[in-house]
Structure 1
């Protein structure tokens, strides 16, 4: 049995005896309107920002008129202008985690006569603190009865056969817990795997074909039905940069390397707040009212194949999960691993790595910055693109249709296809 058991503790991290009730909820004073000074300020902001959704210019005009009526009383309105109002809203300790941003620019070598636009550009990355997002999910009281605090293995009553249901019943999370338990200070903690996913998308309707690169996150502890419903079980934690350049430079190896490494650098920067809690347990309050000692880890990364190539730092048409040669994917092959890649990079010339092993030697996966993280183990298929659309629709359905057309005359084949469509 796993020693990462999710035992309740007090606010100082001291484990409670079995059956101990959670501490009572904190009672806020009836006149506490933090971050607003009083109820009038709160209701004014609620009306302007939420109900009326007043534009910034009109808020400024309203506050100016308000100020003119208070001048004779040597008084001021609650807010100086719309910026002051927005600042107070953003300072609230409640609600969604605020957005942050950082910029990245190329700082590598360049030739004396190189004049490439992408080398002089700055690229913005916007993100939510994933640590705070995960804590909010753990503290959500609506998940209290739909969350697992430790890995488990479930067996049927008939035949004692292994059963899988929610994420924490799987082998990967059990094995991760065994690794964590090697450190005695983590015993009794709750393992919180952070599940990631990303995929470029284009918003075309009324948006001028704008491209976005969202990064999603969830936690493995909540049950599948929570993640599939509109209950904040999956959150957008970032918008990654998408470097672009002129067609003249788009295919150059230096630009391709920069684009790929920017992706990994951005992920490492965004996920960095989780790193301290991956080795040292931190006390966190859960939706059932109990405190628990939490250990975070990077869980599966859900992505389609194009994204997997980028994540695993491999050459297209090679496998991100095993070391099979791209010309013979039916051979028995060992699993890909971080150790295997690092050993090859140390021993083999970069040209051989690309041609013979499908490895892009100049890139460093973001997972190298985090404990217990191996991108080849983390990669999980995108069910929509790779299974439903790729394997079933684009492969199986297309194959069946070709078979029918070769086996029957056109009319008969179409009749059978109509029957398949109806079903």
Structure 2
């Protein structure tokens, strides 16, 4: 059942030196504000070998490319043909197959062949085109735990496919997009106004990014690097079509370096990075503890597999050319995960009804101070208590390992961010405030009069 080693986690603390270091003042920016860049994780530019360049050094020029270099295409004819069939005509694969077969039959007498051997060959070359969308891949997972001697549930024998794109390539595309060159921050910073008021605007100006940089800076190899927080989000959705209801489980990805306006403007700063599997069973087995455990672990195992390409560059820097043409040493990290409450409970491995960030019970929220949840504290609880006590007394699903435990500096309790649509707009306004107003009107004016008032509100 996707058993993962629950080895003791390494406690990562910020050194007193890193916390007390006063960053050197940065440049003055508009509106009378001043900016200080993190003193170690400062986004300095470098060459392709990682050697730090002077502050005013121009970008490293792109290597020259021959006018006859059409790679990965065999030549100009192959490129023009692919563009015509795939982009201009959007020809079905079956027709492309016939066209290439006729072409090959005519050329065989000359001992030659067409630019592509098949439609699949053409699609493969298109997928390897520089600046193209990252191609889709898939892997399959299945249940590997104990099975009953008879009447084995179908879900135990099924294979679950997860479709995804390479996470590192997706992030590279965002970092190298020249459209973002004037709207990207490569290092955490603190911005203050002329009257010493803190100004929070873009993601990298926040405290979380600065704290992550403090942790990264404990490694001498991280000097003059850039921090790239990978923001994630997922939400199961149902799409209505003429043939019925289709469920999809998309996983989204962005980076915290691009400015807020770019991310909200649908300018390729947010990408679908995967489609997660949705295991199903009949009503008889829907509440089976084994099925519920499998469903949770399938979710976390899938996330870990999809994000695995980023892991090796979370402790040591990767040298990448960025949107402004400069090379930088990049260190990645799992950033905030945006999700509604049911998804937060699944991510944090907590019991529904408990808080994913603290230990407070829902009926003890007023007047008390509650202990915040942390990865280290959860690990200690799991090692000291049995599953039933973890569930009842601490709201923990103790036999599931969060995917963040496989990545450095990642604490799922610190990373959870609210889903603005479901938890603020829909949750607070519609489900709470509007419902309360409707109940108040009925209690104050009666059923008939309250409907008249609500109709007038809707009209306005």
Q: TM-score range by the shorter chain?
A: over 0.9
* Residue of structure 1 aligned with 2:317, choices 266, 269, 281: 281
Shift in Å, 1:49: 1.1
Tell me whether 406-415 or 165-174 shows the greater mean CA deviation. Answer: 406-415
Post-superposition Cα deviations, 1:113-139, rounded to whole Å, max 9, x if no partner, equal 351111111110111111111111111
Q: 1:155 to 1:415 in 2, by over 3 A?
A: farther
Q: Give the Cα separation in 2 of the matches to 1:68 and 1:347.
A: 72
Q: 1:289 to 1:75 in 2, by over 3 A?
A: same
Tell me whether 321-330 or 399-408 shows the greater mean CA deviation. Answer: 399-408
Q: Give the Cα separation in 2 of the matches to 1:287 and 1:386.
A: 34
User: Any gaps of 5 or more consecutive residues in structure 1?
Assistant: none
Give the match's secondary structure for 1:225. Answer: helix
Shift in Å, 1:395: 0.4
How many matched pairs?
422
The answer to whether the 8 Å contact 2:127/2:133 transfers is no
Q: Give the Cα separation in 1 of the matches to 2:329 and 2:108.
A: 54
Shift in Å, 1:357: 0.9
What residue number does 2:307 align with? 271
User: Any gaps of 5 or more consecutive residues in structure 2?
Assistant: 1-22, 24-37
Q: Does 1:56 align with 2:93?
A: yes
Give the match's secondary structure for 1:284. Answer: strand
* Residue of structure 2 aligned with 1:253, choices 289, 294, 299: 289
For 1:150-229, list aligned pairs within 5 A: 150-157=187-194, 159-206=195-242, 208-229=244-265
Q: Give the Cα separation in 2 of the matches to 1:409 and 1:83.
A: 67
Shift in Å, 1:348: 1.5
Q: Give the Cα separation in 1 of the matches to 2:243 and 2:321.
A: 41
Post-superposition Cα deviations, 1:173-204, rounded to whole Å, max 9, x if no partner, equal 11111111111110211000000000001111
What residue number does 1:369 align with? 406
TM-score by length of 2: 0.88
Shift in Å, 1:39: 1.0
Q: Give the Cα separation in 2 of the matches to 1:224 and 1:300.
A: 14
TM-score by length of 1: 0.96
For 1:133-148, list aligned pairs within 5 A: 133-148=170-185
* Residue of structure 2 aligned with 1:336, choices 373, 377, 380: 373
Tell me whether 395-404 or 177-186 shows the greater mean CA deviation. Answer: 395-404
Shift in Å, 1:405: 3.5
What residue number does 1:100 align with? 137
For 1:105-144, list aligned pairs within 5 A: 105-144=142-181
* Residue of structure 2 aligned with 1:29, choices 66, 72, 88: 66
Q: Give the Cα separation in 2 of the matches to 1:9 and 1:334.
A: 43
Once superposed, what is the RMSD of the aligned Cα atoms? 1.7
Post-superposition Cα deviations, 1:236-294, rounded to whole Å, max 9, x if no partner, equal 00010111122221210000000000000000111111011100011111010100000
Deviating 4+ runs (over 4 angstroms) = 408-423
Give the match's secondary structure for 1:326. Answer: coil
Q: Does 1:391 align with 2:428?
A: yes
Shift in Å, 1:74: 2.6
Shift in Å, 1:417: 4.4
What residue number does 1:7 align with? 44
Q: Does 1:315 align with 2:351?
A: yes
What residue number does 1:38 align with? 75
The answer to whether the 8 Å contact 2:131/2:173 transfers is no
What residue number does 1:76 align with? 113
Q: Does 1:379 align with 2:416?
A: yes
